[in-house]
Chain A
Amino acid sequence: MVLADELPFPPSVEDFHLVPAWVSKFTVLVWIAVALIIIFFLVLYRNPKLVPTRGQWLAESFYGFVRDRVAGDLIGHEGLRFAPYLATLFSFILLTNLFGIVPGIQISTNTHIAFTAMLAVISYVLFVAVGIRKFGFWHYWKKSLFLPAPLAVQPILIPIEFVSTFVVRPLTLAIRLFANMFAGHVILLVFTLGGFVLLNSSAWFLKPISVLSWVMAIALTFLEALVILLQAYVFVVLTASYVQGALVEDH
């Protein structure tokens, strides 16, 4: 088989860096995602009516879901002004995640930590800025770091509070999404390419097992679809809850 030499197996980290440059598959995909989302919303919402058409209803229910279920329920009435950003964030993560299981693309831009880190930093800056704007600089820090506790244990607690809120949060935000997408991609690659490797193996009895491997790949694609949806949702919900935490009054 000719393919045998070209198939990279097992999948390695290098698979994620096909052309590390300004114009790589990933940067192009990001632009495509941005274009698709803009087209989606502007086309479906070019002529809004009070009684929505089917397309308008689709766009509205997407925004309405983030607006009411995430911004409204989690942050409260104050949160409605963050709904546009949260909806943008959700649509962006969802679509770029979806690239991971779209045939022909097969990889999510969120398998590169640069993109998830960028989103996490924005969420981080957002909730810190929101808190400072509402309470003022010093009050916000005091509110974030001090819990009513005996003075003796404050030196132990304050570093924990600080690290938890201002170090761990953005890191976990970025790494959670990145790791989920990365792992999902690796798993799909293992089973898909593993099928080819089994098919090309010299031992004849291994060849039928390749079918099993591909079946697994397909089954895992469905699982991956679930992860894609869930991770996009989790990212948005966490961002919203951080904003809520920054806005909440003193305890």
Chain B
Amino acid sequence: MHYLAADYLAAEPNPIVPIWQELVVGTIAFAVLCFVLMKFAFPRMEATFRARVEAIEGGIQKAEAAQAEANALLEQYRAQLAEARTEAARIRDEARAEAMNIKTDLLAQAREDSDRVIAAGREQLVAERETVARELRATMGQIAVDLASKIVGEVLEDEVRRRGTVERFMADLEGEGIR
């Protein structure tokens, strides 16, 4: 153990001083490494990274397109549904209105018919009564005159008196009949 580092420090190469052969070799070797990796390895990785990003973005775009299409379809379907709904409502309203019209028409017609029937009946009734009354009046007058002539035995010469008597009688008769 008698050899000490100090003994040959002077003769030794100094570790702080680079060996120039190593500088040259190291530079060349590192340059080769840089050339190969920076030319062949890492650009391909960058390309792969880019391709990957594009693939992901492409996928997103595709998904977005599908989503948009689905939305459009849904919108279309909704529009159609709403259209159908309004159409149905319109048809229903129309039907209702028509039904109402028909009903009022029928009602009016029926009322008209009944009115007409009633009016006709009433007219007929009035006419018949008038006829009856007229005949009755004539007959009654004749009967009354005949009766009076027979009773009195004389012809009533006074026309005015005769008519007044008959008229009065008729009026009494009428009042009795109506009651």
Interface contact B33-A37, CB-CB below 8 Å: yes
A50 interfacial contact with B, CB 8 Å: yes
- Indicate which residue in B18, B32, B40, B44 contacts A114 across the interface (CB closer than 8 Å): B18
A139 interfacial contact with B, CB 8 Å: no
Taking CB atoms and an 8 Å cut-off, the chain A residues in 1-52 that contact chain B are 9-10, 12-14, 16-17, 20-22, 24, 26-27, 30-31, 33-34, 37-38, 41-42, 45, 48-50
Q: What residue in chain B is nearest A86 (Cβ atoms)?
A: B42
B43 interfacial contact with A, CB 8 Å: yes
A112 interfacial contact with B, CB 8 Å: yes
Q: Would you give 19 A-B contacts (Cβ < 8 Å), ordered by A?
A: A10-B5, A13-B14, A13-B15, A24-B21, A26-B22, A38-B33, A38-B36, A38-B37, A41-B37, A42-B41, A48-B47, A50-B55, A84-B38, A112-B19, A113-B18, A114-B20, A114-B22, A118-B23, A119-B30
Residues of chain B contacted by A111 (CB below 8 angstroms):
15
Interface contact A34-B13, CB-CB below 8 Å: no
Residues of chain B contacted by A117 (CB below 8 angstroms):
18, 23
Least Cβ–Cβ distance between A108 and chain B, in angstroms: 13
Q: How large is the interface on A (under 10, 10 to 19, 20 to 34, 35 or more residues)?
A: 35 or more
Residues of chain A contacted by B71 (CB below 8 angstroms):
none
Binding site for A on B (CB under 8 A): 1, 5, 8-9, 12-23, 25-27, 29-30, 32-34, 36-38, 40-45, 47-49, 51-52, 55
Q: Which one of B14, B32, B43, B44 has the highest number of Cβ atoms from chain A below 10 Å of its Cβ?
A: B44
Q: Is the interface of A mostly helix, strand, loop or mixed?
A: helix
User: In the complex the two chains form, what is the Cα distance from A10 to B2 in whole Å?
Assistant: 10
Q: Once A and B bind, how many residue pairs between them come within 8 Å at the CB atom?
A: 124
Q: Is the interface of B mostly helix, strand, loop or mixed?
A: helix
Given contacts A10-B5, A118-B23, whether A182 and B15 have CB atoms under 8 Å apart is: yes
Given contacts A20-B13, A34-B30, whether A112 and B42 have CB atoms under 8 Å apart is: no
Interface contact A83-B42, CB-CB below 8 Å: yes
Shortest 7 CB-CB contacts between residues of A and residues of B: A114-B18, A114-B22, A84-B42, A41-B41, A27-B25, A84-B38, A34-B33
A140 interfacial contact with B, CB 8 Å: no
Residues of chain B contacted by A38 (CB below 8 angstroms):
33, 36-37, 41
Interface contact A45-B45, CB-CB below 8 Å: yes
A60 interfacial contact with B, CB 8 Å: yes
- Indicate which residue in B1, B8, B26, B37 contacts A87 across the interface (CB closer than 8 Å): B37
Least Cβ–Cβ distance between B29 and chain A, in angstroms: 5
Interface contact A84-B27, CB-CB below 8 Å: no
- Indicate which residue in A13, A85, A92 contacts B13 across the interface (CB closer than 8 Å): A13
Q: What residue in chain B is nearest A27 (Cβ atoms)?
A: B25
Q: Which one of A9, A24, A30, A119 has the highest number of Cβ atoms from chain B below 10 Å of its Cβ?
A: A30
Interface contact A48-B13, CB-CB below 8 Å: no
User: In the complex the two chains form, what is the Cα distance from A119 to B23 in whole Å?
Assistant: 10
Residues of chain B contacted by A83 (CB below 8 angstroms):
42
Given contacts A17-B13, A20-B13, A114-B18, whether A48 and B36 have CB atoms under 8 Å apart is: no
Least Cβ–Cβ distance between B117 and chain A, in angstroms: 96
Q: What residue in chain A is nearest B56 (Cβ atoms)?
A: A50
Residues of chain A contacted by B8 (CB below 8 angstroms):
12, 14
Least Cβ–Cβ distance between A205 and chain B, in angstroms: 17
A221 interfacial contact with B, CB 8 Å: no
Residues of chain A contacted by B13 (CB below 8 angstroms):
13-14, 17, 20
User: In the complex the two chains form, what is the Cα distance from A246 to B47 in whole Å?
Assistant: 28
Q: What residue in chain A is nearest B40 (Cβ atoms)?
A: A42
User: In the complex the two chains form, what is the Cα distance from A37 to B32 in whole Å?
Assistant: 11
